[in-house]
Chain A
Amino acid sequence: MNGVTLALRALHHGEKHLAEHLTAVAGRHRTEHEIHHVATDVALWSREHVRRLADTGHHYGLDLGEAPDASDSGVLTMLREKAAEAVGRRPEPGLLLLRDLRDLHLGATENSLYWEMLAQAAQAAQAAQAAKDDRLLTLASSCHPQTLRQMRWTNTMIKNLGPQILTSL
Chain B
Amino acid sequence: MHLSDKAVDPPGEAKPDLDIFLDYAARMGFRDKDGGPLVHWHDPESAFEAWKRCSAGRPCDYTGLTYGKLRGPSGIQWPCNEHAAQGTERLYTDGISWAHPDVCENYGKDLVTGASDSVVEYRSLNPDGKAMIKAAAYLPLHEMPDEEHPFQLTTGRTLYHFHTRTKTGRAPQLNAAAPDVWVEVSAADAAERDLNEGDLVEVSTPRGALRGRLRVTDIRPGLLFVPFHYGYWDTPAGHGPDGNTPGRAANETTITDWDPASKQPLFKTAAAALTLVERGDGRAAPAPTTTASAPSRTGKAGVPPTEGGPTARVTQSGEAPWHGREEGLR
Contact = CB atoms under 8 A, between A and B. Distances in A.
B260 A149 contact: no
B28 to A, nearest CB: 22
Contacts, number: 42
Interface string B87-113: 000000000000000000000001011
A153 B258 contact: no
Given A40-B142, A149-B110, A153-B110, A33 B115 contact: no
B115 A155 contact: yes
A70 to B, nearest CB: 11
B114 A38 contact: yes
Nearest to B116: A156
What DSSP secondary structure best describes chain B's contact surface?
Answer: loop
Nearest to B140: A44
Contacts of A40: 142
A40 B255 CA distance: 15
Interface string B234-266: 000000000000000000000011101000000
B142 A34 contact: no
Nearest to A42: B113
What DSSP secondary structure best describes chain A's contact surface?
Answer: helix
Contact of A149 (B113, B256, B257, B258): B113
Interface residues of B, number: 14
B116 A41 contact: no
Interface residues of A, number: 15
A33 B114 contact: no
Given A33-B257, A150-B113, A156-B113, 4 more contacts: A38-B114, A41-B112, A44-B139, A159-B116
18 contacts: A33-B256, A33-B257, A34-B114, A37-B142, A38-B114, A38-B260, A41-B113, A41-B142, A42-B112, A149-B110, A149-B113, A150-B113, A152-B110, A152-B113, A152-B117, A153-B113, A156-B115, A156-B116
Interface of A: 33-34, 37-38, 40-42, 44, 149-150, 152-153, 155-156, 159
Closest 4 CB pairs of A and B: A153-B113, A152-B115, A156-B115, A153-B115
Interface of B: 110, 112-117, 139-140, 142, 256-258, 260
